[in-house]
Amino acid sequence: MRLPCTSFLLGLAAAGLLASRGAAGPEESCQKATASALARCVRTVADAEAACFRKSGAACGEADARRARALSRVGRRIEARCTGAAEVAAAGYAPLLPAELGARLAAACAREVGQISARLFGEDGEALAGAGDEGAQCLLAAHGRAGELLGKAIQTAGRCAGRLCDAADLDRADAALEALEQRAAAKIEGRCEDFAGLVGADAASFARETADRAETAASAPCDPLDRVETGAPPGGPGAAPGHCLFPFPNDYFSVGDLGSPTGRRLAFQREALPANQAGVHIDPARWNEADGFSVGPMLLFHDPDADLGLSGAPPITDLAASLDPASPVLLLDAETGAQQLLWVERDASHEIEAEQGLVGRVGANLENGRRYLVAVRGLVDAQGAPRPAGAVFAAYRDRAPTAQLPVEARRRRMERLFAELEAFGVARAELQLAWEFTTQSVESTASRLLAMRDDAFAILGEAAPEFTVDAVDEPGDGQTFRRIDGTFQVPLYLDDGGEPGSTLRTGPDGLPVNEGDFFTARYRCVVPDAATTAGGPPAVPARASLYGHGLLGSISETSASHVRRFADDHNFVLCGTDWSGFADEDLPTVYKVLQDFSNFPTFIDRQHQGVLNFLVLARLMIHPDGLGSHAAFQVGGESVIDPSGVYYDGNSQGGIMGGVVAAFAQDVERFVLGVPGMNYSTLLYRSTDFEPFGIVLRAGHPNGLDRLAMLALAQIVWDRTDPNGHVRHTTADTYPNTPPKKLLYHVAFGDHQVAPVTVEIAARSNGAHLRTPALAPGKVVPEVTPYFGIPPILSYPFDGSAVVIWDSGNPAPPIEGVPPPEIPPTDPLWPTLSPCAQNWDSDPHECPRRAPEARLQKSEFLREDGAVVDTCGSGMACLAPTF
């Protein structure tokens, strides 16, 4: 066993983690009060709830006097013993004030007892009512034992408050808690003939589950694991006090929830979340709807003195290094121990080194509803000296007891984590940091859009969506026969008429509801000359395709020159609608979010309606009574739209959001995603488009660690309308009543606006193959193995999803997580750029869609019997030189 050294114990004492012998001072008094007040509350409220269920078959409710008195006593006891913020901090509950701590513990008491009641009696007491007399007596007795056990488990966790403990005390406490569990299980078994039949778990498992509730009951708003000492003076320039939410994502910020698919629910406290310059903390309510964290998470921890290169942390240029068992940073599937692809980088978006977090990013998305383990070891500084662990993590690793209830209540979970890691070959003694997290379920990410889709099409039934034709223009540009603008009706799931800034209307189950009203969505369609015979009849019916516009744009992009050219060259009618929630009219909402991040879920809510609008527009394009039935879409009485199928083409944001439409579409099975990406928490800092928004964000949140935490928080909610949340359920393992899709990704090498690395992550997640050679011979790239882990296409035509890299002569993007720099005409690299890239100030973002070879490849893919064909020439890289 690794024992703590004297200097380490002195450090714990200085941090307020150890209590001294002798008369109890105010800090020790507060430490004792947290455990005693919470333990008493749990026992009393559990007794009160059992009495209510025994009497009425239901929970007590807010008005029950005994329950109310027990909850109010918690606050009084805390405020009597914890007289100020310093005492609360010494008890491990910074940044709360005494009254806030009392309220937190009272809420935890009510929540955990409520979870025990739900576990035994059912959410509404239905299990108790259906158990029969003997079964009901069994469940009520078990409830009493559970309340007693949880109270004693909390008291055991707080055993060191006000006194100096050692490792032997921890051993005795472990044994005592084990004995408490065994006694509780034995008493339950002695009272119940078939406890497992009633509850679904044996008495021993139930007792262990109950005792484990001490951790969530006693948890603090902030996780102290990631507090690492640096060479800077405490509180001075360059000091690193850590961040409340780090390490992240982290099951510490969740609680057990029997009603959720993962068995957990996020439980952020407002005080723990970043505040803007006005001191307003993010409201966690909408985040706490989720039952886990993003499946494409940012792994955040903090050590300004760590040298990632010297430590051998896996870089973006060598993802294979993350699969080395000796890697300093490991991400492991908790069930199988399988190492996950990732890279680790230091945040380069912030100038102050002390506020530059360390960020791990996955190379392939994680599974939904799964638990993962993170292990950090072997980090060294620039001189090669090992970095120390934070004081709290070291206390766990080295079995050094502390005086803080939230730290000690978690110790049992940490012991299990150490045991799991050791079983997977990770030695406890070498760890500098370790934690665990659970990804959110499919229900958490997809249930809202699935409910909206299914309900909307049930409302529409067999009928075509209602539509209008408001303007018809025949531009005579040699490509476009008609440009048609109009509106169509989509069942509405937002309040305030669906205006920008509106939020989802939800029912008791949390799912969106329609109240009989409709959203009026705009559309624009381009009918090519090719759909006619020399501008007249007979019609030459064109393939139908949706078109998705770019960042904060509008339907006007549907008639852009590259869209018109593609439509006429290959005979497509393309129709687009606004990305409601992500269109030009939503720009005020974006700035509102940047000023107060509590508004972020509202930004995401309206995007749900925007995705639904595209699904309904697809139906409108091919329905017999849809667009083709109107004279504006006819020549000589014949429809110019081939109703046999509908496809999707989109660029930039349209390429990104098209990945979401693909996950939910029932009428569209082939998608071309131009200059796309996914996972906005990875994209934003790597995009030139984000800079004007970043200025506003930095002004309101100058701390770099805060901004990283905000991006990571955002992705949890963004998974609902970001392909990041759905990429594993698009080409296979699809959502209910949803066909698998074929996707063609057109990537601009060195893109300044949408980071191509995120398409690589998508391909590893959904099985897309790579068109090779991806790069021209001699192309200089920093990767050890470019496009690692993406299988190549071996022969053509290829009937699957594919990634095609289009090169306009740009250099590889920076590896530091920042946007590519603009290349001026005076730069020696300028002549190597294609005319297309030169036309857009060295940015190749516009180039793939304008290359004739890319347009031909799209056309051959977007057919009922389509496939990926090689239009670049065997053995040749795909070039996008023209403008």
pLDDT in tens, 656-699: 999 999 999 999 999 999 999 999 999 999 999 999 999 999 99
Whether residue 568 lies inside any domain: the answer is no
Mean pLDDT of 72-88: 95
Residue 133: the pLDDT is: 93
Do 269 and 388 belong together in one domain? yes
Do 83 and 104 belong together in one domain? yes
**Tally of CB atoms within 10 A around 712:** 22
Residue 299: the pLDDT is: 98
Residue 596: the pLDDT is: 95
Confidence of residue 506 (pLDDT cuts 50, 70, 90): very high
Nearest to 604 by CA among 721, 725, 707, 496: 721
Domain extent for 841? 750-883
Render pLDDT for 843-877 as a digit per residue (tens, 0 to 9). Answer: 999 999 999 999 999 999 999 999 999 999 999 99
Which of 218, 249, 284 finishes a domain? 218
Whether residue 459 lies inside any domain: the answer is no
**Tally of CB atoms within 10 A around 714:** 23
Residue 881: the pLDDT is: 81
Residue 242: the pLDDT is: 65
Non-local CB neighbours of 690 within 8 Å, separated by 6+ positions = 683, 684, 819
Confidence of residue 353 (pLDDT cuts 50, 70, 90): confident
CA distances (Å), origin 718, targets 45, 165, 280, 486, 681: 38, 45, 22, 30, 9
Give CA–CA dist 566/868, Å, rounded.
17
Do 310 and 339 belong together in one domain? yes
Give CA–CA dist 247/358, Å, rounded.
10
Number of domain units in the chain: 3
Q: Map residue 747 onto helix, strand or coil.
A: strand
Dihedral of CA 586/587/589/590: which sign?
Answer: positive
Render pLDDT for 287-301 as a digit per residue (tens, 0 to 9). Answer: 999 999 999 999 999
In the DSSP assignment, the letter for residue 269 is -
Residue 233: the pLDDT is: 35
Mean pLDDT of 545-561: 98
Residue 11: the pLDDT is: 44
Q: List, in sequence order, every beta strand (DSSP E) within 257-307.
A: 264-266, 298-301
* 357-379 burial code (b ≥16 CB/10 A, e <16): bbbbbbbbbbbbbbbbbbbbbbb
Confidence of residue 13 (pLDDT cuts 50, 70, 90): very low
Nearest to 225 by CA among 434, 65, 444, 27: 434
Confidence of residue 21 (pLDDT cuts 50, 70, 90): very low
Do 260 and 331 belong together in one domain? yes
For residue 488, pLDDT over 70 is answered with yes
| The Cα angle at residue 322 between residues 790 and 330, in degrees rounded to 5 | 130
Residue 882 or residue 321, greater confidence = 321
Task: For the chain, give the number of residues.
Answer: 883
Residue 314: the pLDDT is: 98
Residue 25: the pLDDT is: 85
Render pLDDT for 605-627 as a digit per residue (tens, 0 to 9). Answer: 999 999 999 999 999 999 999 99
28-42, 230-244, 350-364, 769-783: the lowest-pLDDT one: 230-244
Residue 486: the pLDDT is: 98
**What is the Cβ-side half-sphere exposure of residue 741, based on CA atoms within 13 angstroms?**
33
CA distances (Å), origin 511, targets 39, 247, 443: 36, 31, 10
Residue 354: the pLDDT is: 87
Dihedral pair phi/psi, residue 167, rounded to 5°: -60, -30
Residue 259: the pLDDT is: 85
For residue 17, pLDDT over 90 is answered with no
For residue 831, pLDDT over 90 is answered with yes
| Structure tokens that stand for 28 in this block | 């020790």
Whether residue 657 lies inside any domain: the answer is no
Do 242 and 260 belong together in one domain? yes
Do 298 and 435 belong together in one domain? yes
For residue 588, pLDDT over 80 is answered with yes
| The Cα angle at residue 350 between residues 348 and 351, in degrees rounded to 5 | 105
Residue 235: the pLDDT is: 32
Residue 239: the pLDDT is: 33
**870 with 796: CB under 8 angstroms?**
yes
Do 101 and 208 belong together in one domain? yes
Residues forming a β-bridge with 634: 639
Render pLDDT for 364-390 as a digit per residue (tens, 0 to 9). Answer: 999 999 999 999 999 999 999 999 999
Residue 619: the pLDDT is: 98
Residue 883: the pLDDT is: 52
Residue 866 or residue 25, greater confidence = 866
Whether residue 154 lies inside any domain: the answer is yes
Do 231 and 187 belong together in one domain? no
Render pLDDT for 112-152 as a digit per residue (tens, 0 to 9). Answer: 999 999 999 998 899 999 999 999 999 999 999 999 999 99
Give CA–CA dist 649/447, Å, rounded.
25
Residue 4: the pLDDT is: 38
Residue 3: the pLDDT is: 35
Which of 218, 242, 263 finishes a domain? 218
Do 135 and 42 belong together in one domain? yes
Residue 741: the pLDDT is: 98
Do 181 and 249 belong together in one domain? no
| Structure tokens that stand for 124 in this block | 């509404």
Residue 258: the pLDDT is: 81
For residue 229, pLDDT over 90 is answered with no
Whether residue 354 lies inside any domain: the answer is yes
Render pLDDT for 765-806 as a digit per residue (tens, 0 to 9). Answer: 999 999 999 999 999 999 999 999 999 999 999 999 999 999
The secondary structure of 61-124 as a DSSP string is: -TT-HHHHHHHHHHHHHHHHH--SHHHHHHTT-TT--HHHHHHHHHHHHHHHHHHHHHHHH-TT
Whether residue 652 lies inside any domain: the answer is no
Dihedral pair phi/psi, residue 395, rounded to 5°: -65, -40
Q: Map residue 481 onto helix, strand or coil.
A: strand
Whether residue 700 lies inside any domain: the answer is no
Q: Where are the alpha helices (DSSP H) in 126-166?
A: 126-129, 132-157
| Structure tokens that stand for 3 in this block | 């024992």
Render pLDDT for 417-450 as a digit per residue (tens, 0 to 9). Answer: 999 999 999 999 999 999 999 999 999 999 999 9
Average pLDDT over the chain reads 94
pTM tops 0.85: yes
* 162-173 burial code (b ≥16 CB/10 A, e <16): bbebeeeebeeb
Residue 796: the pLDDT is: 98
Do 214 and 270 belong together in one domain? no
Confidence of residue 231 (pLDDT cuts 50, 70, 90): very low
Residue 6: the pLDDT is: 35
For residue 241, pLDDT over 80 is answered with no
Whether residue 628 lies inside any domain: the answer is no
Which of 201, 218, 235 finishes a domain? 218
Mean pLDDT of 493-512: 97
User: Which helix (H) or strand (E) is 7 found in, with range?
Assistant: helix 6-14
For residue 701, pLDDT over 90 is answered with yes
Give CA–CA dist 219/798, Å, rounded.
53
Render pLDDT for 252-268 as a digit per residue (tens, 0 to 9). Answer: 999 988 889 999 999 99
**152 with 162: CB under 8 angstroms?**
no
C-alpha 876 chain-centroid distance: 38
Residue 124: the pLDDT is: 87
Nearest to 664 by CA among 464, 456, 873: 456
Do 195 and 248 belong together in one domain? no
Before 95, cis peptide (omega within 30)? yes
Render pLDDT for 713-735 as a digit per residue (tens, 0 to 9). Answer: 999 999 999 999 999 999 999 99
| Structure tokens that stand for 559 in this block | 């008639």
Residue 313: the pLDDT is: 98
Residue 24: the pLDDT is: 63
Q: Is 877 left (phi over 0), alpha (psi -120 to 50) or beta?
A: beta
